[in-house]
Structure 1
Amino acid sequence: MSKTTHIFSYLVIIVLLAACNTQDNSNPSPNASGESPLTAEGDSDINVKGVKNVDVLNTHGSIEGLERMVRFYGNVKGEVPSDLRVVHYTIEGDPIVTDLSYNGEMIEVKNDTTRDNFGSGSITTNNCGKLIEEVNPTNTTYIATDCIGGFHGMEQILQVYYNMSEQDLFEFELKYGVNQENEINTKTNTLKKESSENGSQLSSDFRIAVDVKQEVYKSLVFANYLAEKDFITTCDTEDAMNYYLKVYINGGVREFQWSACDQSMDGLKFTEIGEYIIDQSEQEQQTQPEVTVQGYVLEKKDNELLIGQGLTMLDYEWIKDELQDINFNHYSFDFTVLEGVQTAEFNPGEKIIATIADKISGKKPGRAKVKEMKKIELQ
């Protein structure tokens, strides 16, 4: 696969291929006990044809069991031995299996492509020293590093992509309260609040800031909102908070209804999303929030820095090798030349976050003057 093709593969539209998911227990489990520890904790019901005990399933960007990836990462950081099985579907619907086994010191990464009818059909094993969680404004990526093999000693395990600006439309409508009497609607820009003290309050020019909407979109992706949900909608108490969330995404609509007493994983995630929206509706929204740039330094010269935004450490390695002949328009990433910085303090390969003094002008690459900038240390 070419470098450019690999990078573009991150941007496959999030879809559900439910037809790929059927039960089959023909394969051995990832550990000697016959059960994945993280699956056992999470009571996984992820079904993949030909694969047993799946912890995390990535169906072209729609990810089930993401909380187990997060938990495994936490175990590695805490030096707690743990196993994880991740499955990615190919475009054709074949499962690629990645088994991670951490013994408290090293991570064994085993990639099994034998079920891929269009691939190499091999099983490869790599030993790695660390697991990095790289968080960008539009993606979160888990990368095994300090590996014996792999591209620059790295292996990408999983990427979660959540760039709201890539969508033609993203709006939401939240109703909440005992009788769902309150409403926050970004599609109609209306805000309705009911209270015993102030009665009914209605605003028809309400606006949610773009960065807040981006955070809501990210949270929905992490909650795998495209999958079917089985929420609890009634509680034993009469004064329980009830929620209704309607999401407008491109030409489609997703609707969710649940109660605050739903303590399931999905219920807790969606209640957190609902409460975040409510909290933000009570805050003063910045119509013109500060513009920030986050990414890797690709080049520095003449008191300027060329930044690749949204790159992971793997993306940086691919792009830097092509920098002299690069056509920026062939990449989906944004590139920006930052002016007015002390370049001696920053070097290619370092990750930075910069606050822009005014705005970014032009594209591919854009240009901007920096107000302040600092390095980002990866964990």
Structure 2
Amino acid sequence: MKNFTYINILLMLIILLVGCNTVGNDSIKGGTQKADRYKLEVKGVDNVDVLDTHGGVEGWEQMQGFYDNIQNGIASDLRIVHYTIEGAPIVTDLTYNGESLEVKNDYSRDTYGSGEIITNKCGNMVKEANDTNLSYIAIDCNGIPYGMDTILQISYDSSEQDLFEFELMYGEELENEINTLTKQAKKEITVNETEVMADFDLPPHIKQEVFNRLVFANYLAEKDLKAMCDIEDIMNYQLKVHINSGQRVFRWAACDQSVDGVKLTEVAEYIIEQSDKKQSVEPEIKVQGYVLEMTKDTMLIVEEINMLDFEWIKVELPQSDMNSFVFDFTNLEGVNTTEFSIGDKVQATLKGTVRGSKPGSANVKEIKKIEINAND
């Protein structure tokens, strides 16, 4: 009798466990993606997946996951909060049913705005990356200009900062240092021998990539990092970021496998890797942008914008001066323009540098068209 009761209990436990696993799998494969998703704490707004503040985005991975679901036809939802300059939250709710996308923008908490709740039906979403920004854009939308709505834009242009430098110390005792502020690097070769490099610096495009990675690591947010390990001979890191008139300091150990710890370790290892490489004194300069005008061998492009910005500029530019816009305009010279059309997005490798501004001019070494589509 005891054995029979024991077997019955065991079978019931197995059924319950299988049932629990089935529910979890169903919530992922079908219906709306809500299971076990980390939610951000935002005052006055519940169930927030992505928080877009001035200069930082938290939960970007959730945005990327939602975009991936759309491309794979998986029904899902997402809530984004954008803060206005005055500090009011604008709530954007995205719902994808497997075929179409609903975008609901809630301005009711913005006392300086319209206070409206506007819902639009869209067909798809595009992810468009530039060297200094990344945009997620809803396309084929009804009732809005150009049929497009920028859902989230992440900017990471280090040249827009008054100051961006960093100091990385690493090693078991933080004995190594890479310092772009003092332009000095110090690396331990052996226990009793240290190499010091004066006039050390990293090229602008490497610094730009570091800034890019820091932005996606949301470096402006508070971090709960693990600075001690129970493992011997573990790598330790300290990163001090000088940004404009402020500083951010992070101290952590390689054993920190939290999301923040892993991201910062990747940033640190990238800096170390690039500091060990022999960098080109004069790396090739590349520009990319949308074609606005063309003559026989010259095309005018507007740089580092997304497809929605282009549609707006195309209409506004004939009525305005280029100096009215914050974007860079460049005449690319020496181009076989018969291979291109107005509205193409191109990337050009230059001979030398850009001369002047608004518009600048540059000779082209190589140029190619960049395809933008929903599967980018």
State the TM-score, normalized to the length of structure 1: 0.87
C-alpha distance 40-178 of structure 1, shift in aligned 2 (>3 A):
farther
Q: How does 1:196-235 map to 2 (within 5 A)?
A: 196=190, 199-235=193-229
The aligned counterpart of 1:242 is: 236
Larger Cα-atom Rg: 2
Cα distance in 1 for partners of 2:179, 2:162 equals: 18
**How far is 1:42 from its partner?**
4.7
Q: How does 1:241-260 map to 2 (within 5 A)?
A: 241-260=235-254
Q: Specify which of 170, 190, 195 is matched with residue 189 of structure 2.
A: 195
Count of equivalent residues: 345
Q: How does 1:98-109 map to 2 (within 5 A)?
A: 98-109=92-103
The aligned counterpart of 1:335 is: 329
1:39/1:53 contact within 8 Å kept: no
Cα distance in 1 for partners of 2:81, 2:268 equals: 30
The aligned counterpart of 2:11 is: none
Instruction: Establish whether residue 48 from structure 1 lines up as the match of residue 35 from structure 2.
Output: no
Cα distance in 1 for partners of 2:272, 2:230 equals: 24
Instruction: Establish whether residue 118 from structure 1 lines up as the match of residue 112 from structure 2.
Output: yes
2:38/2:49 contact within 8 Å kept: no
**How far is 1:268 from its partner?**
0.9
**How far is 1:96 from its partner?**
0.7
Cα distance in 2 for partners of 1:309, 1:246 equals: 31
Cα distance in 2 for partners of 1:362, 1:334 equals: 11
- Which SS does the other structure have where 2:274 is aligned? helix
- Which SS does the other structure have where 2:241 is aligned? strand
Q: Which has the higher helix share?
A: 2
Instruction: Establish whether residue 147 from structure 1 lines up as the match of residue 141 from structure 2.
Output: yes
Q: What does the per-residue CA deviation read over 1:91-133, in whole Å, with 9 as the maximum and x for residues that have no partner?
A: 1211111011112221111111111111111112112122111
Instruction: Establish whether residue 166 from structure 1 lines up as the match of residue 153 from structure 2.
Output: no
**How far is 1:205 from its partner?**
2.2
Q: Output the aligned Cα RMSD.
A: 1.9
C-alpha distance 365-198 of structure 1, shift in aligned 2 (>3 A):
farther
Question: Which amino acid in the other structure matches residue 284 of structure 1?
Answer: K
Instruction: Establish whether residue 296 from structure 1 lines up as the match of residue 290 from structure 2.
Output: yes
Cα distance in 1 for partners of 2:327, 2:36 equals: 38
1:39/1:54 contact within 8 Å kept: no
Structure 1: runs of 5+ lacking an equivalent: 1-31
The aligned counterpart of 2:10 is: none
1:337/1:367 contact within 8 Å kept: yes
Question: Which amino acid in the other structure matches residue 259 of structure 2?
Answer: M
**How far is 1:286 from its partner?**
1.9
Cα distance in 2 for partners of 1:303, 1:346 equals: 11
The aligned counterpart of 2:81 is: 87
Cα distance in 2 for partners of 1:124, 1:189 equals: 51
C-alpha distance 38-241 of structure 1, shift in aligned 2 (>3 A):
farther
Question: Which amino acid in the other structure matches residue 43 of structure 1?
Answer: Y
Cα distance in 2 for partners of 1:278, 1:82 equals: 39
- Which SS does the other structure have where 2:46 is aligned? coil
Cα distance in 2 for partners of 1:127, 1:198 equals: 67
- Which SS does the other structure have where 1:152 is aligned? helix
**How far is 1:358 from its partner?**
1.6
Structure 2: runs of 5+ lacking an equivalent: 1-26
Q: Specify which of 62, 65, 69 is matched with residue 59 of structure 2.
A: 65
Q: Specify which of 265, 281, 285 is matched with residue 275 of structure 2.
A: 281
The aligned counterpart of 1:362 is: 356
Cα distance in 1 for partners of 2:80, 2:192 equals: 52
